[in-house]
Amino acid sequence: MRHSISYFLFIIAITLQIVACKTSNTKQTGREYDPELETPDIDDAGMSHGYNLTKLGCFVYRPWQYDLTNDSLYNMRVTLQDSEIYSKGYKYSSEEGTLFFLLTKDNSLKYWIKDDYTLSNVDTLKGGIIIKHNIPFDRTKVKNMYSGNWKFNQTDSSFIFNFNDSKKPLPNIQGKYIQLDNSLMSYQNSFYFDSTIDGNLIKLKKIITKYLTH
């Protein structure tokens, strides 16, 4: 009987812990529930399981950077009439690899580079391996921040991030996101170009896929 009671209490404790994790999303950020950023997660029985981020909520959740974990690569594919004829991974540029930015609801953004951190959340080890230290984002740990703007279209998944501060202008980022959640965004740009095979003119499609992470 004692074992049964202990097991029962253990199950209750685990259940409460799971529910607490789900409902703590807004509590941890210290802000009230915002319907533009979150939607209640309620099951068919009417039980609440916290909140799910909207697309806007995913964008503004935390600062973004290119996914460089373990020297990750972005992908470039070439297709002919939807048949892949080429695919290869490429390293991000040094400019991309040092960029961090934070999007806000009002369509403004703040950006900075790795050297602006007084305490960086990443270290580059010999061989290009990136280690994340999970240091919480703190504006006081960034020496210089620059301002820009952004927008996205949820209908066609297009977006543009403008890093146009006159003190530190950088190339913009734009494309169409194909995955967007609270930890990762993958996006693509594609265009057509002419080429020849066996003397015949053909039209090929180049698709570039890059990955951003919180």
pLDDT tens by residue, 59-85? 999 999 999 886 789 999 999 998 999
Question: Do 134 and 38 have their domain in common?
Answer: no
CA distance 129 to 131: 7
Q: What is the pLDDT of residue 123?
A: 53
Mean pLDDT across 108-127: 73
Q: Compute the distance between CA of residue 132 and CA of residue 164 in angstroms, rounded to an integer.
A: 28
Phi, psi (deg, nearest 5) at residue 11: -65, -45
Q: Which of 24-28, 33-37, 64-68, 115-119 has the highest mean pLDDT?
A: 64-68
Interval 184-195: pLDDT, tens: 999 999 999 999
The fraction of the chain above a pLDDT of 70, given in percent, is: 76
Task: Answer yes or no: do 23 and 109 share one domain.
Answer: no
Q: Please, which residues bridge with residue 188 across strands? A: 176, 209
pLDDT band at 119 (very low <50, low <70, confident <90, very high): low
Q: pLDDT of 31-43, one tens digit each?
A: 577 888 988 887 7
One domain, residues 74 and 37: no
Q: Please state the rounded mean pLDDT for residues 90-104.
A: 94
Looking at the fold, whether 175 and 151 belong to one and the same domain comes out as: yes
- Statement: residue 28 has pLDDT above 50: no
Q: Are residues 48 and 76 in the same domain?
A: no
Range of the domain at 29: 2-53
Indicate the length of the chain as a whole number: 214
Tell me, yes or no, whether 30 and 102 share the same domain.
no
**Do 100 and 180 belong to one domain?**
yes
Q: Of 125, 123, 97, 111, whose CA–CA distance to 211 is shortest? A: 97
User: Are residues 181 and 90 part of one domain?
Assistant: yes
Contact in structure between 178 and 161 (CB atoms under 8 Å)? no
Mean pLDDT of 196-208: 92
As given in the structure block, the two tokens for residue 206 are 């180049």
Residues 118 and 16 placed together within one structural domain of the fold = no
What's the pLDDT score for residue 153?
97
Range of lowest pLDDT (70-79, 143-152, 174-183): 70-79
Same domain, 169 and 186: yes
pTM of the predicted model as reported, rounded to 2 decimal places: 0.75
- For residues 106 and 122, membership in a common domain is answered with yes
Task: Please state the domain count of the chain.
Answer: 2
Assess whether 33 and 129 both reside in one domain.
Answer: no
pLDDT of residue 42: 78
